[in-house]
Amino acid sequence: MMAAAVLLAACAAPDFQQPQIATPAAFKEAQVPAVQTAQDGTRWSQAQVNYAERQARGEWWLAFNDPTLTGLIAEATQANANLAVAAARVKQARAIAGIAEADRIPQVGVNLGGQRNRASAVSLGLPNGAPVAATNVYQANLTASYEVDLFGRVAANVSASRSDALAVEATYRSVLLSLQADVAQTYFQLRATDAELATLAETVRLREESVHVNQRRYDLGDIGEFDLSRARTELSTARAEAIGLQRQRATGEHALAVLLGEPAASFTAVVNPLQDSAFLPVIPAGMPSTLLERRPDIASAQRTMEASNARIGVAKSAMFPALMLNASGGGAADTFSDVFKWSSRSWLLGALMSMPIIDGGRNKAAVTRSEAQLEESVGTYRQSVLVAFAEVEDNLAGLRILSGQTQQIDEAVVSARRSADLAQKLYDAGRSSYLDLLDAQRNLSAVERSAVQLRGNRAVTTVALIRSLGGGWGEPEPQVAVN
């Protein structure tokens, strides 16, 4: 009894030990209440509006209160090819786990068939050439086999397969989250581009008016050709910038079409400029320790570790005896009608124990490999956690700094508009040169475009923070439903 216990302990998978991760008590960037400018020490805080924790937990995009975005994400979830691939892998992993589970129960089958045979005379001890009649044999047997899991091979293999399936399911959730975030980010980038195009369109309109006015003044002799040429140059430059931005919009539209599972040629995104950042939710970062439960990529790495640990037990069990039980019963006769008669009955009971003696170190090497695979999966898990912490810190810092930049650029827009208005009046009154007016108008255009770009960056970074947090705010992981 003692020897059996020692053998069982020797071949069993080691108890899984959760790797120790240095988890901070709080996210560093979430603790900074404000941004401080370098010049004058002015401080400001991020606005606390539209708290995301008031929104639906799983459908995080509802926090943006944008029906168009909701529709796009629903469409992508139904039609995206990469998500379909991930779903198919979940099916495969579950099927493999089912195959492993089947080894827990006896395998029962039935054999039914017949054969006609003629042996040689010599093989029957008769003289060569003696006549031998052909015989018919019909059989019907019920068979059963079962591996007695003496040293835990079956249990360890089932455990590994289950963990593999859970890892693949977590990967599916990771792909789903990435798809949803990619759709949202691409959508907001398109809207920011639309807003930038609207700003450029206004710039082009002002340049066209400037060319028209300068042409009249040139015709009247009020100005020289220099001012007219500069006005035309500025108009062509603004038009060229607008044309170049159309290329960026087309690329974003095509990328969104791919995410939605549609041909780029048949998809057109409605023009919808991003007007302001007031709609953006404030995302609660939570505690770093909860990130380990929310991120699907970390969950996948966790399950992979557990599967690797279980496979150590599978490898160890190959070094010990395996016991297979076999049984069959049925009938055999020379006519099919007699197969099922009691007089034709036959049966077999057997037990086979096998154990390697000399394998050239194969099984020992297999154990070493499985242990190394566990070490690899532990390293992958640690790296996934560190990357997750860094991504959250990056996006928290990004949102905090972008919020400060937005406040400053909004003030700059007000000042630039005032400067451009004064420059126009001074130029019309003949008290300043056309170069002064152009300089003020260029500055206004640049500041307005910067404001638009910042709005887009804040929306994209908000989505990036949600992605880095695992897509929710503490809800339990949903069961993956794959059709």
- Which of 9-13, 145-149, 186-190 ranks highest by mean pLDDT? 186-190
For 209-216, the CB contacts below 8 A with 24+ separation are 210/234, 210/235, 210/441, 211/235, 214/434
- Window from 47-61, 133-147, 218-232 with minimum mean pLDDT: 47-61
User: Cα(478)–Cα(483) distance, rounded to whole angstroms?
Assistant: 15
The residues facing 350 across adjacent strands are 326
Check residue 16 and give its pLDDT: 80
Task: Find the mean pLDDT for residues 428-439.
Answer: 80
Check residue 394 and give its pLDDT: 92
Check residue 113 and give its pLDDT: 86
Check residue 43 and give its pLDDT: 40
User: Cα(284)–Cα(138) distance, rounded to whole angstroms?
Assistant: 75
pLDDT digits (tens, 9 = 90+) for 23-36: 887 887 776 544 44
Instruction: Kindly tell me if the per-residue pLDDT of 49 is higher than 60.
Output: no
The angle at the Cα of 424, spanning 421 to 430, to the nearest 5 degrees, equals 145
Task: Find the mean pLDDT for residues 124-139.
Answer: 82
pLDDT band at 45 (very low <50, low <70, confident <90, very high): very low
Check residue 7 and give its pLDDT: 52
- Window from 256-270, 319-333, 401-415, 463-477 with minimum mean pLDDT: 463-477
User: Cα(160)–Cα(154) distance, rounded to whole angstroms?
Assistant: 10
Record the tokens describing residue 454, joined without a space.
């910042």
Task: Find the mean pLDDT for residues 257-261.
Answer: 93
pLDDT band at 51 (very low <50, low <70, confident <90, very high): very low
The residues facing 216 across adjacent strands are none
Check residue 54 and give its pLDDT: 44
Q: Which residues of 396-408 are buried (b: 16+ CB within 10 A; e: fewer)?
A: bbbbbbbbbbbbe
Is residue 171 within 8 Å of 361, Cβ to Cβ?
no
| Residue of 317, 347, 260, 301 whose CA lies nearest to 83 | 260
Percent of the chain clearing pLDDT 90 (strictly above): 36
pLDDT digits (tens, 9 = 90+) for 286-307: 777 787 878 899 999 999 999 9
Instruction: Kindly tell me if the per-residue pLDDT of 12 is higher than 80.
Output: no
